[in-house]
Amino acid sequence: MKRFWNGYQKAIADDHYFYERSCIRQTFFPGSEAAFLKILREELGKDICDNPHQHTCTGIGYHSDVVPFDTTMTVVARLFSLMTEYGYKNYVPSCVTSFGVFTEMMTKWEEQPELKEKARQYLWEACKREFEVPENIVHPSDIIYKFRFDLKPKMKYQLLNRFTGRPLRVVEHIGCHYAKIFSHHGIGNAEFPYVLAGMIEAWGGEVIDYPERRHCCGFGFRQYLVQENRGYSIANTKKKFESMESYEPDFILTNCPGCSMFLDKWQYTIAEMEHKTYDREGYGIPVLTYEELAGLLLGYDPWTLGLQLHQVQCERLMDKIGIAYNPSEKYRGVSGLRHPSPEKPEFLKV
């Protein structure tokens, strides 16, 4: 039995990580990225390199068919060459799409070693660079999962409803490319994904199982990026909301920056188009990234974490947990200027 479950585990390096930035996360959730690096360095005392010469993995372009396989493979090789140059062996791509791209290239290189040689030749021809493959590739959510019990004693809050004393009920959504492509790279595999459920349970919450738990958030790359195709994207997200609605989740937790954004923003769109929200009161279901959740429970300022950038407001959730925050700081910038509040949606309550 123990050996059977070993197939659902993965090796996660203990320290000395080479970090790779996500295009989507830095665009929509820069506070999450900063929180992740702060948690690793300041709470866990780990070494993580944020290299100034890194760039996109091209993943969104690759899955939108505007970047060829050989190009993406060689861009991956360049990122590995930076890791090699700076003396690291543990690679941490922070986007779920990137994680899928890196695991795809590593798998292809194992199955077809001549491809790795081709990548070496291309990289040398283009950049006069060489690379070693990482010893360990993990997603940042894997690292937070690994250290979830180390973080717990440092946390000021738990996932408990302070009014009822009961655990908060949480829907978790895992980005498709975390484990659906190469399932053995995900904690719990594609069948029993536990990377977010493990955090929720460790920090006092209760995980909701619901019929469309594993359905895609609906990004679909070209299906969202081209405005005319967005019906695909919102229809898939709506299917998930309809499936989770009767379970009355307190919030949604994700490990993919794209999924976080869609699950948040499509609630606004559906509310404005159809006058429908998936909570009882008309505010929508708050959506958090795992870094925002960890940061909030550790007592970080929600306006430094970036919760003011969510369209579905998070104050009611913070009130439930008992998290202290200053509403007057919400729209204040680094200059000290307090900017006018964003326009209010017509239907979605804020």
Site for other proteins in 103-162 (CB under 8 A): 108, 111-112, 115, 122-123, 125-127, 129
Q: Min. distance of Cβ 72 from other proteins in angstroms?
A: 9
Interaction residues for other proteins, span 213-242 (CB under 8 A): 214-216, 218-223, 225-232, 234-236, 239
Do residues 77 and 130 lie in contact, with contact meaning Cβ atoms separated by under 8 Å? no
Nearest residue (CB) to other proteins, 168 versus 305: 305
Interaction residues for other proteins, span 258-317 (CB under 8 A): 265-266, 268-269, 303-306, 308-311
Angle at 39 between CA 161 and CA 183, to 5 degrees: 85
Q: Min. distance of Cβ 339 from other proteins in angstroms?
A: 5
Nearest residue (CB) to other proteins, 205 versus 236: 236
Find, among 120, 87, 101, the residue nearest to 22 by Cα. 101
Pairwise CA distance, residues 175 & 193, whole Å: 11
Helix, strand, coil shares of the chain as percentages rounded to 5?
Answer: 50, 10, 40
Check residue 347 for interaction with other proteins (CB under 8 A). Answer: no
Check residue 87 for interaction with other proteins (CB under 8 A). Answer: no
**8-state DSSP, 346:** S
Q: Which of 16, 46, 51, 157 binds other proteins (CB under 8 A)?
A: 51
Q: Min. distance of Cβ 284 from other proteins in angstroms?
A: 11
Find, among 97, 68, 76, the residue nearest to 18 by Cα. 76
Nearest residue (CB) to other proteins, 201 versus 301: 301
Nearest residue (CB) to other proteins, 21 versus 152: 21
Do residues 322 and 157 lie in contact, with contact meaning Cβ atoms separated by under 8 Å? yes
Q: Which of 8, 16, 26, 316 binds other proteins (CB under 8 A)?
A: 26
Q: Min. distance of Cβ 181 from other proteins in angstroms?
A: 5
Interaction residues for other proteins, span 172-211 (CB under 8 A): 176-177, 179-181, 183, 190
Q: Min. distance of Cβ 80 from other proteins in angstroms?
A: 13
Say how many residues touch other proteins, by CB under 8 A: 101
Q: Burial code of 26-35, b = ≥16 C-beta within 10 A, e = fewer?
A: eebbebbbbb
Nearest residue (CB) to other proteins, 126 versus 248: 126
Q: Which of 202, 276, 315, 345 binds other proteins (CB under 8 A)?
A: 345
Q: Which residues contact 165 (CB under 8 A, 6 or more apart)?
A: none
Contacts 24+ apart (CB under 8 A), 43-46: 43/151, 43/154, 43/298, 44/147, 44/150, 44/151, 46/15, 46/16, 46/17
Alpha-carbon distances, residue 251 vs 11, 22, 64, 102 (angstroms):
29, 24, 31, 30
Scanning 35-43, 154-162, 195-203, 244-252 for contacts with other proteins by CB under 8 A, the matching segment is 35-43
Q: Which of 6, 164, 328, 335 binds other proteins (CB under 8 A)?
A: 335
Do residues 73 and 119 lie in contact, with contact meaning Cβ atoms separated by under 8 Å? yes
Pairwise CA distance, residues 292 & 308, whole Å: 12
Q: Min. distance of Cβ 165 from other proteins in angstroms?
A: 33
Residue corresponding to tokens 């509403």 = 327
Check residue 64 for interaction with other proteins (CB under 8 A). Answer: yes
Scanning 9-17, 65-73, 134-142, 245-253 for contacts with other proteins by CB under 8 A, the matching segment is 65-73
